[in-house]
Amino acid sequence: MKARTIVEKIWDNHVVTQQPGAPALLYIDLHLVHEVTSPQAFSMLRQRDLKVRRPDLTVATMDHSTPTYSRTLPVLDPAGAAQLEQMEKNCAEFGIRLYNRLSDHQGIVHVIGPEQGLTQPGMTITCGDSHTATHGAVGALAFGIGTSQVGHVLATQCLLQTPSETYAIQVDGALKKGVSAKDIILAVIAKIGIGGGTGCVFEYIGSTIRGLSMEERMTICNMSIEGGARAGLVAPDDTTYQYLNGREFAPRGGAWDAAVSCWKQLPTDEGAEYSKHLRLDAGELEPMVTFGTNPGMGIPISGAIPNPSSISDPMAKSDLVKALHYMALEPGKPLLGHPINVVFVGSCTNSRISDLRAAASVIKGRKVNPKVRMLVVPGSQQVKKQAEAEGLDKIFREAGADFREAGCSMCLAMNGDQLEPGEYSVSTSNRNFEGRQGKGGRTLLASPLTAAASAVTGVVTDVRTLL
Amino acid sequence: MKFQTLESKTVVIPTDNIDTDQIIPARYLKAISKDGLGEGLFRDWRFNADGTPKPDFPMNRPEAKGAQILVAGDNFGCGSSREHAPWALTQNGIRAVISTSFADIFKGNALKNGLLPVIVPPDAHSELLHSPGAVVKIDLRSQTLVLPDGRTVEFPIDGFAKHCLLEGVDELGYMLQQKSAIAAYEAAHPSSIRA
Ligand code: SF4
């Protein structure tokens, strides 16, 4: 048999039928739903008098327009409130499990899936959200879809799909102190550009990736879309099985053993071919930070902001000029030491317990700089509970940070948490597009360690000076 | 949604990597229907904070009025999966976007809404970028585009997507007809999610 990549294996296992001249009909094992990209899909079901085919494989949560100031106070924004209310109605009407604001399992859709063991190796997973690739960390083929496709999956549990190419992102070697998973993925994107993975699925391989925890792998897979790939994954291994074993929706007993023996067939075969291959030496990486208005505009923290005069392509040059103008940053200057106004630790990239622990390790015994507003937003109620059990909430609060309820929060400025025009934030989220965190806001993407260090000093800081 | 031919002048936004947060900012995503999303299109590029239009933005220039074809820089539509982006474009009368490349999810979403993503080679792209307002003819059946200088270039499109656009095929209808294959697959592949 031909040597296959993990992506090809998962694909082959899920083709329901393949008609000539049409894309494959691909079966979807898990469909995650949130309030923003689903209402029009449910309306379509109603118009066409359709049911949800597999409510048991569909799980909904509230995260995007969900406020983080409280779980019980009313949602002040009428449009947000209406959207959440509609989600309740839709889930009740179509029989879908919903983790609403009051649920102990509520949280960012990409945090709760793995956390509850819904997300499993070898699965196909969809969600009306581009960061669905996060679930690839467990060895699943997980991609973001639009609302029309959300409707297709609700109605048929299938998706019409054509296969993608597989792009191997290989990272080997030991990370230096203060350098984390977030820095790896920011370095990858800085290298290949935000369109570098278009048409591809990333498979992250190499000794560094193997050595990462599940949560670190999630951080990396999460930002696959920022490199243009629709999905990204890591083949399952013992780290994966240990993480999943005992989680609420993971198989148990004999079913667990059977599942693990299936999952062990998934990793890419020796000799399988990748369409593209990128190699990175982890030992050469520094903490990364972005200076511009897309996630590919990143530099090592000790580096200088690039100069447009060094770029020959006229469009690329004018884009850089435009980005630096929006960011009000000067070419050739370091970013290190640049004053900031806000620090946001959260989002589906970095809001898990290990991220909060990392941030707290820097904050502990220190104060948030009085000029800085620091927001720590756990990715789920479960993460929040764990953080409280470990006293992390106290560390943050005593330092002067705000510790919030679970949700997307300041990642996308549609729930009340946002930057003011002109403000600079160091954020652990995944996008620094113009206005992403609030109209006129300026986002510098970085790791939780870098974010926490910058919160303490009030300027962009190399965390290694505080370790 | 059908698409066969289109002849229109172009409006040009000469920027690479136009992301979906620019096409429609997140604060416009609280809608529970598709109505009124057009208002959010390029909101922060098109309008000042006080709601007055920015006269320099290409779409606000008088000569852009009625343009149904948008010409933009490389990698158009990167970022989120929000289908609100093609909805906002089509609600403003845009029926085709021309670029050298598109982000995958945006491309898929556009095709489902009768918005044609047209991928052209760099030289044709550069000509289009430099001739805003020029009239361009698109013929989906022959997958060709007639440039302002009269040259014809071909563009690629997935065969199935093309068929659906030309014939106005209902993709979901096609999928629903495969119910028995889906049921057979389900019977052979029980879920590993613990009930
Ligand atoms: S945290 Fe941000 S990127 Fe993640 S799902 Fe929410 S809005 Fe999207």
Compute the average pLDDT of residues A16-45.
97
Q: Considering only CA atoms, which residue is closest to atom 4 of ligand 1?
A: A348
pLDDT score of A35: 96
Range name among A276-280, B90-94, B166-170 with the lowest pLDDT average:
B166-170
B177 Cβ under 8 Å from any chain A Cβ: no
Compute the average pLDDT of residues B26-41.
95
Has residue B27 been placed in a domain? yes
Does the structure show a pLDDT above 90 at A1? no
C-alpha of A308 from chain center:
30
Instruction: State the closest ligand 1 atom to the C-alpha of B80, by its place in the atom list counted from 1.
Output: 8
Does the structure show a pLDDT above 90 at B195? no
Burial degree of A328 (CB within 10 A; 0-12, 13-18, 19+): exposed
Buried b (16+ CB within 10 A) or exposed e, A118-146: bbbbbbbbbbbbbbbbbbbbbbbbbbbbb
Has residue B176 been placed in a domain? no
pLDDT score of B42: 98
| CATH number of the domain to which B82 belongs | 3.20.19.10
Selecting from B21, B104, B113 the residue whose C-beta is nearest the C-beta of A230 gives B104
Cβ <8 Å between B80 and A65: no
Instruction: Indicate if A297 and A378 belong to the same structural domain.
Output: yes
pLDDT score of A64: 97
Compute the average pLDDT of residues B168-177.
94
- Whether residue A32 has its Cβ less than 6 Å from ligand 1: no
pLDDT score of A272: 97
Does the structure show a pLDDT above 90 at A321? yes
Q: How does residue B27 score in pLDDT terms, banded at 50, 70 and 90? A: very high
- The helix/strand/coil state of B5 is strand
Phi, psi of B119, rounded to the nearest 5 degrees: -100, 120
Instruction: Indicate if A315 and A329 belong to the same structural domain.
Output: yes
Cβ <8 Å between B79 and A56: no
Instruction: Indicate if A26 and A128 belong to the same structural domain.
Output: yes
Compute the average pLDDT of residues A280-287.
98
Cβ <8 Å between B83 and A40: yes
**Which tens digits make up the pLDDT trace of B76-106?**
999 999 999 999 999 999 999 999 999 999 9
And the tokens for A26?
């691909």
**Which tens digits make up the pLDDT trace of B104-139?**
999 999 999 999 999 999 999 999 999 999 999 999
B170 Cβ under 8 Å from any chain A Cβ: no
- Whether residue A129 has its Cβ less than 6 Å from ligand 1: yes
Provide the domain limits for residue A349: 288-465
pTM beyond cutoff 0.90: yes
B172 Cβ under 8 Å from any chain A Cβ: yes
Of the candidates A143, A161, A179, which is a domain's last residue? A161
Distance from CA of B186 to the nearest CA of A (A): 9
Which of A434, A40, A149 is CA-nearest to residue B23?
A: A434
pLDDT score of A88: 98
**Contacts for A99 with CB less than 8 Å, ≥ 6 apart:** A59, A60, A61, A62, A105, A106, A107, A112
Compute the average pLDDT of residues A6-18.
98
Compute the average pLDDT of residues A89-112.
98
Which of A279, A266, A277, A278 is CA-nearest to residue A5?
A: A266
pLDDT score of A319: 92
Instruction: Indicate if A455 and A312 belong to the same structural domain.
Output: yes
Q: State how many domains chain B has.
A: 1
Compute the average pLDDT of residues A6-16.
98
Q: State how many domains chain A has.
A: 3
Taken as a whole, chain B contains a residue count of: 195
Sheet holding A15-17, edge to edge: A15-17, A24-27, A158-161
Scanning B122-151 for CB atoms below 8 A from A yields none
Provide the domain limits for residue B82: 5-169
Has residue A1 been placed in a domain? no
